[in-house]
Amino acid sequence: MTLFIKKEFWVAYICTIKFKKMRIIKLYLIIALLIVSCKTAQEATIQISQEITSPQIDTRAIQGGMWIPSLLEGINEQEMFALGSKMTAKDIYDVNNSSLKDAIVHFNGGCTSEIISPNGLLLTNHHCGYGAIQSHSSVEHDYLENGFWAMNYAEELPNPSMNVTFIKRIEDVTSLILAGVSDEMTETAKMSIINKNMENAVKLAQKEAWQDANVKEFYKGNQYILFITETFNDLRLVGAPPSSIGKFGSDTDNWMWPRHTGDFSMFRIYADINNKPAAYSKENIPYKPNHFLPISLDGVSEGDFTLVFGFPGRTNEYLPAVGVAQIVDLLNPAKIELRANALGIADSFMRTNKEIKIKYASKYASTANYWKKWIGENQGIKKSKAVEQKRALEKEFLKIVEEKDLAGYKTLLSDFEQLYKDIENVSLARDYWSEVALRNVELLGFSFRLYQLEQVFEKSGAAAFEKSKVATLSRFEAMYGDYSPTVDKPVFEKLVTIYAQKSPKEYLPATMLKSNFSTITNDIYTKSKLTSLKGVQELLTGSPEEVIKKINADKGYAFGKELHTMFYTTVEPKFQLLNLEIEAIQKKYMKGLMEVFPTKRFFPDANSTLRVTYGQVKGYEPADGIYYNSTTYLDGVLEKYIPGDYEFSIPQKLIDLYNAKDFGPYAENGKMPVNFIGTNHTTGGNSGSPAIDAHGNLIGLNFDRVWEGTMSDMNYDPDICRNIMVDIRYVLFIVDKYAGATNLINEMKLVHPKK
Ligand code: ARG
Ligand code: ASP
């Protein structure tokens, strides 16, 4: 700030000096001064200004949104100040200096993580590290059950198939990507130019040899942004609490508040000797980040500013009412029914068989996760009258379009009505296929991989087939490791029966046109080679022709193949055709909304790119007469504790620490905080995202949303949508007092911003 005044002052001063006919010198002096002042700014490291005062903005009007980190200057920055932030847009994202963004890492494509030490120590959720923790577990070394802590670098466990990605630079390339595209073109013609331009933009992007570039679409294709990224493949497991802490409350508490889950795990990024990405090697060393998050020991109170920085996956905020209604009335109920049945069957086996419990733990959790989310989403949409609200907005939109005679937007909403009617059956058929034949009946999922292999042979010949076969076999090894035909058989019979009953008939192959599947189920599960790894390896031995012949003679494969063929020859082409039209209308509608309501705030839907969302720590009213506080405590864990229960039991050591009130420096007035909620707009993919305070310190770890608000993916409502975070002090308490991993605490930078 002071520098700015000085620079302005000197420029003005030089302008007043009377150089005889020496305007050029004056100009040079000014340019030199500007360069010097910019340079000084570039050299500054992230040092949060304390001078910022909150502007007068009605904070109730600040309602969600996931914003692009490079475009925060202006309204977002002002809103954040109004909510109490002391950070400038540049403190959050800066290309030339280290900024918060340098500590935020996309975790294995699906979650977020953040760097919390100068040695590349990475924090994410337990449920994000779950697959890795499971892969190192066996009945003898059950890290899911007992937790895992590396007490030094040598004990950290490598995860060869995982990776993490940093965002180095973000650039708007809209004009480049839309060059040559005009309104008169067909959608296919537009897409082909856009795709070519995207390829070119990637090719021409300025980047280092070890970096990558990719372009993503925003605002439904009204904006395009280029990302330069850096991906690291040597990622090691450092620590995880037992599931009784990291997944406390399991599926009963999932998507719920009040919550008491220590949903965290830790990894470390390793780099080569030059701090650059490298494949796993013993010689690699802990990564030295450009920035890591200091950790606040001062906790949060109601009303505190919070910022969540991460990689939200997908939202659909601008769907028309008819699209939302289709999801809520048709697609969600179909998927919920299928998954409820699959889960019920798996659960009955998992409760009585320890081996099956470990094998199915990860799959069960991920299937249950969205099953429960869709139920909450449906309830929330109905309760918040989202469809009615959208209809009202559309009416208003049409009114203004008519008043202003905006010809391009007049038919959009009737087009949507027609297109959603046209796509209804095929969307439903598509969901039945993907839920039954791809995901929940595992044997059909295996048949799908073989189907793909057969397609490779037919389209690309023997050499390509042999190559794919190797990959398929190695994939099968992992998949069959967690497979039990005992569980899968009743799932097959139940789900295939529902599929045959309820999926639109025109999209069912002949084999599905019956009502009883018990004989065929018995037949397949006694005769098909797809029920074991050995069987499928046998099928895949021999020349390509022999393999193709053998698999086609297999009853399980033959059954699956009919479903997959119907899907690829009929369902998918029809769906894609209609969907392309819907997307084209959606792109115009998005543009129309921004034009028709110029003062309304529109954020771009989530698309797995880095975003900033901000809000405040805040309770909510889930139903009339009930108010939920914003923080939970360890006392609540003990209240929920059910000895021996598979969801609500806890380790004796935690009980002992609680009884002794042995909380170290992490408690607040003698109580140990566990979770808190806020008004940050998050979605799937934000799991593991840091919750950051007004000064840039870590205060929490995002992991979930409240059930009443899971509809935020289609209708964010600031009254009831809340994200759920682990209080960072609970993480520190578990690492330090429960696990005794003081080696990790010593790496971190603990701060007291409130004192
Ligand atoms: N609902 C959270 C999310 O969508 C957490 C899921 C993990 N926990 C579970 N019990 N399945 O990812
Ligand atoms: N639990 C989610 C995740 O894994 C976050 C959410 O949907 O709120 O990303």
Report the C-alpha gap between 275 and 286 in whole angstroms: 8
Confidence (pLDDT) at 6: 36
Residue that is written with structure tokens 């923080």 in the block: 631
- Claim to verify: residue 123 and residue 199 sit in the same structural domain: yes
- Claim to verify: residue 379 and residue 274 sit in the same structural domain: no
Give the number of whichever ligand sits closest to the CA of residue 112: 2
Categorize the per-residue pLDDT at 33 as very low, low, confident or very high, splitting at 50, 70 and 90. very low
Give the number of whichever ligand sits closest to the CA of residue 110: 2
| Residue 262 domain flag | yes
Give the number of whichever ligand sits closest to the CA of residue 711: 2
Both tokens assigned to 74: 């202006």
Measured in Å, residue 314 CA sits from the centre of ligand 2 at 11
Measured in Å, residue 704 CA sits from the centre of ligand 2 at 5
Angle, to 10 degrees, between the axis of helix 485-502 and the axis of helix 332-350? 160
Measured in Å, residue 485 CA sits from the centre of ligand 2 at 30
Measured in Å, residue 159 CA sits from the centre of ligand 1 at 22
Confidence (pLDDT) at 63: 80
Report the C-alpha gap between 469 and 475 in whole angstroms: 10
Widest CA span in the chain = 103
259 in ligand 2 pocket by Cβ < 6 Å?
no
| Residue 531 domain flag | yes
| Residue 537 domain flag | yes
Measured in Å, residue 369 CA sits from the centre of ligand 1 at 5
- Claim to verify: residue 59 and residue 162 sit in the same structural domain: no
| Residue 507 domain flag | yes
- Claim to verify: residue 229 and residue 347 sit in the same structural domain: no
**Of 6 and 627, the one with more pLDDT:** 627
Residue that is written with structure tokens 């021999």 in the block: 542
107 in ligand 2 pocket by Cβ < 6 Å?
no
Residue that is written with structure tokens 């193949």 in the block: 561
Residue 7 pLDDT greater than 70, yes or no: no
| Mean pLDDT, all residues of the chain | 93
Residue 475 pLDDT greater than 60, yes or no: yes
Q: With contact defined as beta carbons under 8 Å apart, do 612 and 70 qualify? A: no
Last residue of a domain, one of 593, 608, 627: 593
Residue 229 pLDDT greater than 50, yes or no: yes
Listed in sequence order, the residues at least 6 apart from 98 whose beta carbon sits closer than 8 Å to its beta carbon are 45, 46, 290, 291
Q: With contact defined as beta carbons under 8 Å apart, do 128 and 107 qualify? A: yes
Residue 208 pLDDT greater than 70, yes or no: yes
Closest CA to 166 of 108, 102, 117: 102
Confidence (pLDDT) at 53: 76
Closest atom of ligand 1 to 127 CA is 7
pLDDT-above-90 percentage for the chain = 88
Helix (H, G, I), strand (E, B) or coil at 713: helix
- Claim to verify: residue 291 and residue 354 sit in the same structural domain: no
Q: Among the options 137, 427, 503, 687, which is catalytic?
A: 687
705 in ligand 2 pocket by Cβ < 6 Å?
yes
Residue 693 among the catalytic residues: no
- Claim to verify: residue 157 and residue 282 sit in the same structural domain: yes
- Claim to verify: residue 498 and residue 558 sit in the same structural domain: yes
Give the number of whichever ligand sits closest to the CA of residue 613: 2
Last residue of a domain, one of 565, 593, 621: 593
Residue that is written with structure tokens 């098909």 in the block: 528
Give the number of whichever ligand sits closest to the CA of residue 308: 2
CA-nearest residue for atom 6, ligand 1, is 369
pLDDT in tens, 316-348: 999 999 999 999 999 999 999 999 999 999 999
Confidence (pLDDT) at 48: 61
Residue 275 pLDDT greater than 70, yes or no: yes
CB count within 10 Å of CB 253 equals 18
| Residue 494 domain flag | yes
Q: Among the options 91, 102, 263, 727, which is catalytic?
A: 263
Mean per-residue pLDDT for 614-631? Answer: 96
Confidence (pLDDT) at 52: 76
pLDDT in tens, 246-257: 999 999 999 999
Confidence (pLDDT) at 49: 58
Q: With contact defined as beta carbons under 8 Å apart, do 714 and 377 qualify? A: yes
Residue 314 pLDDT greater than 70, yes or no: yes
Q: What is the DSSP string of 201-231?
A: HHHH----TT-EEEEEEEGGGTEEEEEEEEE
Residue 447 among the catalytic residues: no
| Residue of 134, 343, 367, 703 best suited for mutating to test ligand 1, as the one with most atoms within 8 Å of CB | 703
| Residue 84 domain flag | no
Residue 2 pLDDT greater than 70, yes or no: no
Closest atom of ligand 1 to 366 CA is 11
680 in ligand 2 pocket by Cβ < 6 Å?
no
Rg (CA), the chain: 28
Residue 127 among the catalytic residues: yes
Residue 38 pLDDT greater than 50, yes or no: no
Categorize the per-residue pLDDT at 477 as very low, low, confident or very high, splitting at 50, 70 and 90. very high
Report the C-alpha gap between 502 and 329 in whole angstroms: 14
Count: domains in the chain: 3
Residue 10 pLDDT greater than 60, yes or no: no
- Claim to verify: residue 382 and residue 519 sit in the same structural domain: yes
**Of 28 and 218, the one with more pLDDT:** 218
| Residue 173 domain flag | yes
Strands (DSSP E) found in 160-315: 164-172, 212-218, 223-232, 234-240, 265-271, 285-286, 295-296, 305-310
Check: pTM over 0.85? Answer yes or no. yes
Report the C-alpha gap between 648 and 343 in whole angstroms: 19
- Claim to verify: residue 30 and residue 145 sit in the same structural domain: no
Confidence (pLDDT) at 286: 98
pLDDT-above-70 percentage for the chain = 93
Mean per-residue pLDDT for 400-409? Answer: 96
Angle, to 10 degrees, between the axis of helix 572-596 and the axis of helix 412-432? 140
Which residues make beta-bridge pairs with 234?
270
- Claim to verify: residue 335 and residue 294 sit in the same structural domain: no
Categorize the per-residue pLDDT at 20 as very low, low, confident or very high, splitting at 50, 70 and 90. very low
| Residue 181 domain flag | yes
Measured in Å, residue 686 CA sits from the centre of ligand 2 at 6
684 in ligand 2 pocket by Cβ < 6 Å?
yes
Confidence (pLDDT) at 45: 43
**Considering Cα of 318, then 320, then 325, then 330, what sign does the dihedral take?**
negative
| Residue of 647, 687, 705, 724 best suited for mutating to test ligand 1, as the one with most atoms within 8 Å of CB | 687
Measured in Å, residue 361 CA sits from the centre of ligand 1 at 12
Structural domain of residue 224, as residue ranges?
Answer: 100-298
pLDDT in tens, 498-524: 999 999 999 999 999 998 999 999 999
Half-sphere exposure (Cβ direction) of 327: Cα atoms closer than 13 Å: 22
Report the C-alpha gap between 88 and 75 in whole angstroms: 12
Ligand 1 binding pocket (C-beta < 6 A) is 127, 247, 250-251, 254-255, 365, 368-369, 684, 687, 703-704
- Claim to verify: residue 574 and residue 451 sit in the same structural domain: yes
Measured in Å, residue 252 CA sits from the centre of ligand 2 at 16
Q: With contact defined as beta carbons under 8 Å apart, do 189 and 164 qualify? A: no
What burial class does residue 1 get, using C-beta atoms within 10 Å of its C-beta: 0-12 exposed, 13-18 middle, 19+ buried? exposed
Residue 228 pLDDT greater than 50, yes or no: yes
Confidence (pLDDT) at 641: 98
- Claim to verify: residue 106 and residue 167 sit in the same structural domain: yes
